[in-house]
Amino acid sequence: MNPAGFWIRLGASLLDGIIIGIPLALISLALLGEADTWFTSSTQLIYSLLVPVIWTGYTVGKRILGIRIVHLDDTDVSFLDND
């Protein structure tokens, strides 16, 4: 197991922000008249928390850069406790 470094994690976060954040801001602008609203913030938070669990440790940015979130024992993250 080789943990990902700071820069590749930052790159994945920036990609997620671009790929997910911009469309969400446009949707929010169309629906609510503002680009930066509770809708955009809460949807990005839900995306960041749920997508890695549903998609076995990946977000869109992490998938593009080939990194993923796993437990220290290299098992997949899940909603249930692995004990």
The per-residue pLDDT for range 6-24, each reduced to its tens digit, is 999 999 999 999 999 899 9
SS3 (DSSP) at 55: coil
The residue segments making up the domain with residue 26 are 6-65
Total structural domains within the chain: 1
Neighbours of 6 (CB within 10 A): 7
b (16+ CB within 10 A) / e for 15-53 = bbeeebbeebbeebeeeeeeeebeebeebbeebeeebbe
- Residue 42 in any domain: the answer is yes
- Residue 71 in any domain: the answer is no
- Residue 73 in any domain: the answer is no
Length of the chain as a residue count: 83
Q: What pLDDT, on the 0 to 100 scale, is given for residue 79?
A: 80
Q: What pLDDT, on the 0 to 100 scale, is given for residue 38?
A: 85
Q: What pLDDT, on the 0 to 100 scale, is given for residue 82?
A: 56
- Residue 30 in any domain: the answer is yes
- Residue 83 in any domain: the answer is no
- Residue 52 in any domain: the answer is yes
- Residue 72 in any domain: the answer is no
Kindly report the pTM of this predicted structure. 0.78
